[in-house]
A and B are shown apart, each in its own frame.
Chain A
Amino acid sequence: MLAYTIYLSFAGALILALLPRVPASFARVLALFFALGGLAVAVAGFIAGGTQGNVAVADVAWVPAMGIHYTLAADGISRVLVLLTGLASVAGVLFSWNIDERTNEFFAFYLVLIGGVYGVFLSVDLFLLFVFYEIAIVPKYFLIAIWGSTRREYGAMKLALYSFAGSAMVLIGLLAAYATAGAHTMDLHALARYPFPVSFQMWAFPLVFTGFAILAGMWPFHTWAPTGHVAAPTAASMLLAGVVMKLGAYGCLRVAMTLFPHGLDPWGFSFFGLDSWRTVFGLLAVIGIVYGAAVALVQDDFKFVIGYSSVSHMGLVLLGLLTLSQIGIDGAVLQMFSHGVLAGLLFAIVGRVVYGRTHTRDLNKLSKLQLGKAMPFAAWLFVIAGMASMGLPGFSGFIAELQVLIGAWQVYPWFAAVAGVGIVVGVAYTWRAMQKAFFSDTPAVTADGAAVPIPRYEPITWPEAAGVILLAGTSLVVGLYPRLLLDVITPATHALLMGGRP
């Protein structure tokens, strides 16, 4: 059943691409229809899957001569991330209600991207997974380059090249694994059972892990993320931060760590305290957490603040994965979901609600507009989303970060401590942005010293309200009752830990 998420998205993309110049309003409704369809299937699949383990979805021989199958299946992790994709895609359509130029093309590229993302989360055959992974790259370029803003062509090209370079690294690893195993199969589970020599895993693991981690925004390969997020139109930033970065983290967990578990083993020597790829990547993740937060603290562009906060939050995901413990990986997956929802919400508020009305993202300019009074709804929204994002109990971020930190504490106390500092800085940059953008008390003055009256802005529209309720509500529900997701995630991570590592 879950496979229809993919087919619906691609069908929608095809229809929108082939339609002659239709009115923008019609294209929007059509896109919303297909996104809602995807979400409905994702929710149904999530409920039907319950807490059971792997649910097979489809298995058809695709290229028998090379042992490549069209195999789709969903375990708990996949079902949670498919659900996230459904939510993000609907919210993205709602927040791009103002796209008037080439609307059908916009939503065609948008739905191709969504379909590719669904496909990655559901693929079991590695070849298929890679195909969907690459399908998700190209539309990002066009979404940003055509409908983007600040330095859009640069941001789009940088993002496309980083993604493609990462996927080339992944492809080298997959091809080498395919050739080394000798068996004609690309099935993840079949390949994972093959005992790859440790020496092989020692170079294949970092290659594939880095390839995927580029898309997850791992420091120092994160630089595409802020520029890409800033250049992208609102819906594309929401998707980029919301689901595309999750593709990378998901690939790290599902492919790199499952296929080459011994790549994480100690090297047998220590180099400045680094004794395995696990420590190396753990260190990079922690640097990402602190660095992303620290850079977000000094940004003047509102979107850059959110962009760097994404780097910081994704660092937590990677750190959680590398703990290799039940609680750490559970936390990482939950953090993927939580960040997907919250980053989407933040980008929506900054990119659509605030920028769409004030036409500036400069915090110094915003601080003179008294938005707290002019746009109380936006201010309240940002307060809620910001609190959730900085890990306030009651929202989804809290429980996820707590789990990651507990998991990290058990293995790498130092990393956990430093990551904790990063989270505190996270509070600071959210607070600073909030204060500057919404609650500044230095009104702009005209040349003769008179206060400029508070400008009037368009009230919140229904698509915006619907999108906000969807995302914020999800975060709240998950925060209040995290077992909703954790009961689904835990069996899957447990199976991974048992199957992936002795």
Chain B
Amino acid sequence: MNGVNYWNLFAITLPESLLEVISLVVLIVDLGLLRKSSHATRMAVAAVLGVVGCAASIWWLSGHAGSEAAVGDFLVATPLVAAAQIGILILTGLVLLLSIKAEFSRNPGEFVAIVLLGTTGMMLVAAARDLLMIFVALELLSLSLYVLTAFAKNSAQSAEAALKYYLFGGMSAALMLFGFSYLYGLTGTTSLPGIAQMLATGATSPLLIVALVLVAAGLGFKVAAVPFHLWAPDTYQGAPAPVTALIASGSKVASFAVLVALTTALAGASSSASGTSASSMSASSMSWIVLLLWMAAGSIVLGNLAALVQTSVRRLLAYSAIAHAGYMLLGIAAHTPQSGAAVLYYALTYALTTVGAFGVIAVVERATGSDRLDAFAGLSRRSPLLAGTMLIFLLSLAGIPPLVGFWAKFNLFASVLRAGTIGVWGLGLVAVALAASAVSLYYYLQVLKRIYVIKPVQAEPLAISFVELTTLILIALAVIALGVLPGALSGWIQLG
């Protein structure tokens, strides 16, 4: 990391710095000026400030999205990274808007500040191209999320979820760091391009396989892939709803972005779609790809099957998240530029849909005190608009056209099949994935059945604030619009 150009560093990290400043401003305003105000005002002010911060960062990023820049070897700014970062910021902004009415915390200032810190971590993760940078950014992200998960101090579930998340997370971070140290020892460098170069020329050692397994464990935890998924259902269930939305959205996008970068380094960038065939891959890249494929297959099968028997909608979405992670890992294993872009497209649109779904869950929970399937009974008569948005989110997750979830799946699987890098495994696993997504329709319909078919226990309309409803409708419209006009994002993320 010698010879860092600090001006360059400042220019690249301006959006992140902006978020840090805003998070401090939020703290100052909340603790300094609003100490006497009501909880609702404090939450609203803090959330709005946070949203403004996100908007400012987005504005700056989109003004500079076309340019490529790098700080040494450890932080880069490319159009794809910018797309991921803008996506993360939008997701955080939506989460903040949806948590305006949240009542789980008596410290709104701290909540919003930590959300912004975590977002900074996500943005850095997406841009990092150096093992140390990746680790530091991931820890910034993870520690923020641990704290946020425990934020509902009155809820034992929240504390339990946070402890589980923290213990699993700490363990996997340690494994990953251990793997990174082996990688450094084997290649003598911590930068991803450097590692790629060394691996391409050097011989394979058994230690490398150990290193890869350890790294896979660490990142597999972040994206909740089988067999490192055990924390997900409990955390999704126990954490406050906006925090779950954040874990399920922005943090996933960031982790998949770094997985794409890491896979490019470890498995070698195949330049064209018809690039390296399976036989000509080096042993190290082979083992990394095989690891990814196993994790993908396990996640797809286990996630979809386990979701079938859930009675809590949050747990159901947690298992569905595991399944979706499996689909995306398939795209990462194909490791072509096209499939990398397709994974990012999938992650962003999936995250958007999930934020919406958890927004609806939050409203229903506040009204009924439960996230069980039965709590959703008759929602279509208690609040037709809310039910309509949930219909759109769940059908998009199930991959029904013309919603964006279908597009993302089509694009992802087409890129996997076109890649040819994983040969017949690609076709086989795509077939498994599509078969599993037919299974997934069952559990999404279980929720929709409660919403539309079953009669409500209480008939009175559901209380929902204007901001929440508007945000949810906007997300739903975006899910439809992106599905009908899939080319809309192609300015940032190349399709095909």
Binding site for B on A (CB under 8 A): 17, 62-67, 105, 127, 130-131, 134-135, 137-138, 141-142, 145-146, 153, 157, 160-161, 164-165, 167-169, 171-172, 175-176, 178-179, 182, 184
Q: Which 7 A-B pairs have the closest CB atoms?
A: A179-B417, A131-B401, A65-B495, A168-B434, A168-B438, A165-B438, A65-B496
B400 touches A161 (CB 8 A): no
Nearest chain B CB to A138 CB, angstrom units = 6
Q: Which of B401, B486, B495 contacts A135 (CB 8 A)?
A: B401
Q: Cα distance A176–B426 when bound, in Å?
A: 10
A131 touches B452 (CB 8 A): no
B442 touches A142 (CB 8 A): no
B413 touches A175 (CB 8 A): yes
Nearest chain A CB to B48 CB, angstrom units = 30
A residues less than 8 Å from B495 (CB atoms) = 63, 65-66
Query: Known contacts A66-B495, A134-B401; is A146 also within 8 Å of B487 by CB?
Result: no
B487 touches A135 (CB 8 A): no
Q: Which of B380, B431, B486 contacts A172 (CB 8 A)?
A: B431
A176 touches B417 (CB 8 A): yes
In the complex, the chain A residue whose C-beta lies closest to that of B437 is A168
A residues less than 8 Å from B282 (CB atoms) = none
Chain B 380-422 interface 0/1 with A at a Cβ cutoff of 8 Å (1 = within) = 1000000010000001000011100010001101100110000
A134 touches B406 (CB 8 A): yes
A residues less than 8 Å from B388 (CB atoms) = 17
What DSSP secondary structure best describes chain A's contact surface? helix
Nearest chain B CB to A68 CB, angstrom units = 8
Nearest chain A CB to B437 CB, angstrom units = 7
In the complex, the chain A residue whose C-beta lies closest to that of B441 is A164
B residues less than 8 Å from A157 (CB atoms) = 442, 445, 449
B453 at the interface (CB under 8 A from A): yes
Nearest chain A CB to B400 CB, angstrom units = 6
A178 touches B437 (CB 8 A): no
> Among residues 437 to 477 in chain B, which have CB atoms less than 8 Å away from a CB atom of chain A?
437-438, 441-442, 445, 448-449, 452-453
B494 touches A65 (CB 8 A): yes
A172 touches B434 (CB 8 A): yes
Nearest chain A CB to B253 CB, angstrom units = 21
A135 touches B402 (CB 8 A): yes
Nearest chain A CB to B83 CB, angstrom units = 15
B171 at the interface (CB under 8 A from A): no
Q: Cα distance A167–B430 when bound, in Å?
A: 14
Q: A63-B486, A66-B496, A135-B402 are in contact. List 10 more A-B contacts (CB 8 A).
A: A63-B487, A63-B490, A67-B496, A135-B401, A145-B453, A157-B442, A161-B438, A168-B435, A176-B427, A179-B418
Q: Cα distance A138–B417 when bound, in Å?
A: 27
25 A/B residue pairs, CB under 8 Å, sorted by A? A63-B486, A63-B487, A65-B495, A66-B496, A105-B380, A134-B406, A137-B400, A141-B445, A145-B449, A153-B449, A157-B442, A157-B445, A157-B449, A160-B441, A161-B438, A161-B441, A171-B410, A171-B434, A172-B431, A175-B410, A175-B413, A175-B414, A176-B427, A179-B417, A184-B496
B417 touches A65 (CB 8 A): no
Most buried by A among B441, B452, B495: B441
The number of chain B residues with a CB under 8 A from chain A is: 33
What DSSP secondary structure best describes chain B's contact surface? helix
Q: Cα distance A171–B438 when bound, in Å?
A: 11
Q: Cα distance A374–B49 when bound, in Å?
A: 74
Q: Cα distance A137–B402 when bound, in Å?
A: 12
Q: Which of B418, B437, B453, B487 contacts A153 (CB 8 A)?
A: B453
Nearest chain A CB to B299 CB, angstrom units = 18
Nearest chain A CB to B313 CB, angstrom units = 18
Chain B 120-133 interface 0/1 with A at a Cβ cutoff of 8 Å (1 = within) = 00000000000000
In the complex, the chain A residue whose C-beta lies closest to that of B417 is A179
Q: Cα distance A178–B418 when bound, in Å?
A: 8
Q: Which of A131, A145, A165, A182 contacts B406 (CB 8 A)?
A: A131
B residues less than 8 Å from A142 (CB atoms) = 448, 452-453
Q: Cα distance A135–B399 when bound, in Å?
A: 11
Nearest chain A CB to B395 CB, angstrom units = 6
B435 touches A165 (CB 8 A): yes
In the complex, the chain A residue whose C-beta lies closest to that of B380 is A105
Q: Cα distance A63–B487 when bound, in Å?
A: 6
Query: Known contacts A66-B411, A135-B401, A142-B452; is A175 also within 8 Å of B445 by CB?
Result: no
Q: Cα distance A168–B487 when bound, in Å?
A: 24
B residues less than 8 Å from A165 (CB atoms) = 435, 438
Q: Cα distance A175–B400 when bound, in Å?
A: 16
In the complex, the chain B residue whose C-beta lies closest to that of A20 is B384
Q: Cα distance A160–B439 when bound, in Å?
A: 10
B residues less than 8 Å from A134 (CB atoms) = 400-401, 406
A138 touches B400 (CB 8 A): yes
A residues less than 8 Å from B411 (CB atoms) = 66
B residues less than 8 Å from A62 (CB atoms) = 487
> Among residues 337 to 376 in chain B, which have CB atoms less than 8 Å away from a CB atom of chain A?
none
Q: Cα distance A64–B495 when bound, in Å?
A: 9
In the complex, the chain B residue whose C-beta lies closest to that of A180 is B417
Q: Cα distance A165–B435 when bound, in Å?
A: 7
Q: Cα distance A127–B495 when bound, in Å?
A: 15
Most buried by B among A62, A145, A169, A172: A172
A residues less than 8 Å from B437 (CB atoms) = 168
Q: Cα distance A115–B183 when bound, in Å?
A: 57
Nearest chain B CB to A335 CB, angstrom units = 29
> Among residues 68 to 123 in chain B, which have CB atoms less than 8 Å away from a CB atom of chain A?
none
In the complex, the chain B residue whose C-beta lies closest to that of A178 is B414
A residues less than 8 Å from B417 (CB atoms) = 175-176, 178-179
Nearest chain A CB to B365 CB, angstrom units = 25
B residues less than 8 Å from A145 (CB atoms) = 449, 452-453
A146 touches B442 (CB 8 A): no
Q: Cα distance A153–B452 when bound, in Å?
A: 12
Q: Cα distance A164–B494 when bound, in Å?
A: 29
Nearest chain B CB to A325 CB, angstrom units = 33
A residues less than 8 Å from B414 (CB atoms) = 66, 175, 178-179
Q: Cα distance A30–B449 when bound, in Å?
A: 27
In the complex, the chain B residue whose C-beta lies closest to that of A67 is B496
B residues less than 8 Å from A161 (CB atoms) = 438, 441-442
A65 touches B487 (CB 8 A): yes
B residues less than 8 Å from A179 (CB atoms) = 414, 417-418
B residues less than 8 Å from A127 (CB atoms) = 410
Q: Cα distance A157–B453 when bound, in Å?
A: 12
B487 touches A172 (CB 8 A): no
Nearest chain A CB to B202 CB, angstrom units = 33
Q: Cα distance A167–B418 when bound, in Å?
A: 21
Nearest chain B CB to A371 CB, angstrom units = 32
A residues less than 8 Å from B453 (CB atoms) = 142, 145-146, 153
Nearest chain B CB to A162 CB, angstrom units = 9
Q: Cα distance A295–B328 when bound, in Å?
A: 46
> Among residues 288 to 314 in chain B, which have CB atoms less than 8 Å away from a CB atom of chain A?
none
B418 touches A65 (CB 8 A): no
In the complex, the chain B residue whose C-beta lies closest to that of A165 is B438
